Structure 1
Amino acid sequence: MAGNALAFVMTVCFAALVVMSRRHPGMGMAEISAYASLACVIVCWPLMSPVIPSAYELCVLAGFGITSTAIGYLLFLVGGRYIPSGEAGLIALLDVVLGPLWVWLAFGEDPGLATLVGGAMILGAVGWYLWSSYRDRSAAVPA
């Protein structure tokens, strides 16, 4: 139950961050991401294992944090200023849907037919929504 509550709080905070980045375009996203990461460290510190990772493991974790998390969030928040917040949220949720696909492709772990069908339905719905909203916006612009 605590994990679900933390996931909910994280989702609400991320949604607020996306909306704030659109509402206040002058905000520095790198600084805000750094403060958010610091707050996460403070909250999660008591929950950490007392075992300290090796130097190699720390380098791998740092590389993962910099390449996938820091750069990904920074680009998402900067790019999210140029599209509606709802669309940014849909694009962000694609990470959850595509996760099993990447694991299946990279490691051969079978996600199951139901997961693949459900993921395909979600990808189709998001693609249809984004395509139709793009078409509506381009039709509204005079040629």
Structure 2
Amino acid sequence: MGGMTERHRGLAMALIGIMVLMPDTVLFRLISTDLWTLMIWRAGFQGVVLWIALILLRGRKLPGDIRALGLPGLGFMLAMGVAAICFNLAIAWTTVANTLFILAAMPLWAALISWLLMGERIGLRTGLTIAAAMIGIGILVTGKDEGGIAHWTGDLAALAGSFTMASGFTLARFSPGRSMVPALAGSAFIPVLFGIVMGGAAMPLHGDMGLLFVMGAIIAPLSFALISTAPRYIPSTEVSLIMLLETALAPILVWWIVGEDPGPRAVLGGTIVVSALVISNLIGLRRARPSPAG
């Protein structure tokens, strides 16, 4: 590791982060505990681990870190908490493929929100990518899967999660240079409270506690730490491209292990969404690279 360049270090972090994240949706399907109880324990484990890590790493500086986030940090916390609820609902109410393909369009919603809130111009490339993604999402939400899992309510929850997550990351730009990890740790309380209100305050079914611990205490914090650190070493566009691996491969993993066939329209629509994002990011990455000195 000591001989690695910064680029290799960033690529390794992003790839390992995605590999860690990949089994998350499979474990979700293997758990028999009801949705609200699952939501409480999954988010609870994640929140506890993040707070312990923050206390150990920041110590007495942590209260100052939290105060420095201000209103953007509060907005980020609320947005990510709602996004977490939406993700759980989406996975429960529709297919993994539909959920991940819709969530993949999150950077496009962020571009739209930045245009509305900050007046940032949407270029031709981004506009065409948004149009292609909307076509792909339209195709996949009108399809039927073999198991009859896909439902418009889950697709709508995924869309809401994608939008709220994009809102959170846009708000984070109002606090440049500030770590949003404390706000992310605080956001875990929102799905916990929501699950309690919905009647999920109970112990998980026998055998599910270990899976919930892996999902909440290991997969979520570790993958987030690696993926969020990678942009320090490589462009965020490259990180976005690597993250699309999870969008493309996780539904295949769920199909292989659990037998959840997303259906042909979901595959077609998802392919359009992912392809549009890949092409757009590759073009953006090529333009961002400095021309060789000469």
Tell whether the structures are fold-level matches, with TM greater than 0.5. Answer: yes
Structure 2 CA distance for aligned equivalents of residues 43 and 27 of structure 1? 28
Structure 1 CA distance for aligned equivalents of residues 245 and 251 of structure 2? 11
- How far off is 1:133 after superposition? 0.7
Picking from 154, 167, 187, the partner of 1:36 is 187
SS in 1 for 2:178: coil
Structure 2 CA distance for aligned equivalents of residues 6 and 42 of structure 1? 20
Between 73-82 and 51-60, the greater mean CA deviation after superposition: 73-82
Structure 1 CA distance for aligned equivalents of residues 159 and 195 of structure 2? 13
Q: Are residues 1:83 and 2:236 paired?
A: yes
Structure 2 CA distance for aligned equivalents of residues 25 and 114 of structure 1? 40
- How far off is 1:26 after superposition? 3.1
Stretches of structure 2 that go unaligned for 5 or more consecutive residues are: 1-151
After TM superposition, the structure 1 = structure 2 runs for residues 96-135 of structure 1, keeping only pairs within 5 Å, are 99-135=250-286
Higher helix residue share: 1
Structure 2 CA distance for aligned equivalents of residues 99 and 68 of structure 1? 14
Cα-Cα RMSD: 3.5
Structure 1 CA distance for aligned equivalents of residues 189 and 202 of structure 2? 21
Aligned to 1:137: 288
Task: Work out the percentage of aligned pairs sharing the same amino acid.
Answer: 24
Structure 1 CA distance for aligned equivalents of residues 275 and 159 of structure 2? 25
Distance 1:141 1:73, change over 3 A: same
- How far off is 1:15 after superposition? 1.8
SS in 2 for 1:33: helix
SS in 1 for 2:188: helix
- How far off is 1:2 after superposition? 8.5
Aligned to 2:166: 15
- How far off is 1:74 after superposition? 3.9
Query: Do the aligned partners of 1:29 and 1:77 also contact (CA within 8 Å) in 2?
Result: no
Query: Do the aligned partners of 2:255 and 2:261 also contact (CA within 8 Å) in 1?
Result: yes
Picking from 33, 47, 65, the partner of 2:216 is 65
Aligned to 2:121: none
- How far off is 1:112 after superposition? 2.1
Deviations 1:32-83 (A, max 9, x none): 2110111221233211335421574223202111333233334444456853
Query: Do the aligned partners of 1:103 and 1:109 also contact (CA within 8 Å) in 2?
Result: yes
Stretches of structure 1 that go unaligned for 5 or more consecutive residues are: none
After TM superposition, the structure 1 = structure 2 runs for residues 44-55 of structure 1, keeping only pairs within 5 Å, are 44-54=195-205
